Amino acid sequence: MKLEIHAPPDATAGAAVQVRIVLLNDSFEPVAVSRSALTGPDVVGVMAPQAVEATFGQPDEPLTLQPFTLYGRQREITFAKAGETELTARYEPTNGEALTASKKVRVRPAS
């Protein structure tokens, strides 16, 4: 399994950007995925509710990821301050190895 964050390397303060997190089954075997175990994308250092699945905290139907298929989530994020900001995502299944991913985005000042 592989967890990735897809986001533009640069952004402009005040403008929304699309950020996606992708959980990829890069093995040759089907894998059962708990969608509620996938959280993010979230911005580090911001007191905001975590981005989760609608079934978060509730019993959810495991999703079977076939080999080299993916499951993900898209969120629209607006960076307010210029500088370097870190995005994170996390996959923490009840049974199994936890995956984390992070990516830094350079935020340019608004023109």
Partner 1 sequence: MSSRFARRGRSDNDDRTHQSQPNPLDPSGADHAIANEGFRRQPSRMLLMQRTVGNAALQRIMHSSSLAAPQTEGYDTACYCPMCKPERVYTDEPLAPSVQRASNAHDAGCTCPACSVSAQAQAVQRIPYEDEQAAGGSQQATQGQAGNASQNSAQNGNDADGGIMTVQEDFESEETDVLVDQGLHVAVVSGDENDVANVEEQANANAPATSSTLPGFSFQNAGMTGYAPIEITSRIPVDDLPHAFVDGGQTGTVVWAGGGGAGPRGNQGVGTIQTENQPTYVSQSNGVLSDSSAWVQAGTGDLTVTRSWLGAKAGDQGNGHYVTASAATRFNSHEILHVNSTSSIYNSTLKPMLDRVTPYRAKPDGSQSKVNAFFQSGAIAALRSAIDWGTAVSNFQTQDTAANAPMNTVDNNDLKSGTYPVDRGPGKIGGVDFQHRVTLPSEAAPT
- The footprint of partner 1 (CB under 8 A) covers 14-16, 43, 45-58, 73, 75-81, 85
Which residues does residue 84 pair with via DSSP β-bridges, in sequence order? Answer: 106
* Comparison of 33 and 35: residue with beta carbon closer to partner 1: 35
* Comparison of 33 and 51: residue with beta carbon closer to partner 1: 51
Q: How many residues are recorded in the chain?
A: 111
Instruction: Please state the closest distance from residue 89 (CB atom) to partner 1, in A.
Output: 14
* Comparison of 52 and 99: residue with beta carbon closer to partner 1: 52
**69 within 8 A of 25, measured Cβ to Cβ:** yes
The encoded tokens of residue 82 equal 């210029």
**Count of alpha carbons within 13 angstroms of residue 107, beta-carbon side:** 21
Instruction: Write the DSSP symbol of residue 88.
Output: E
Instruction: Please state the closest distance from residue 53 (CB atom) to partner 1, in A.
Output: 7
Instruction: Please state the closest distance from residue 22 (CB atom) to partner 1, in A.
Output: 16
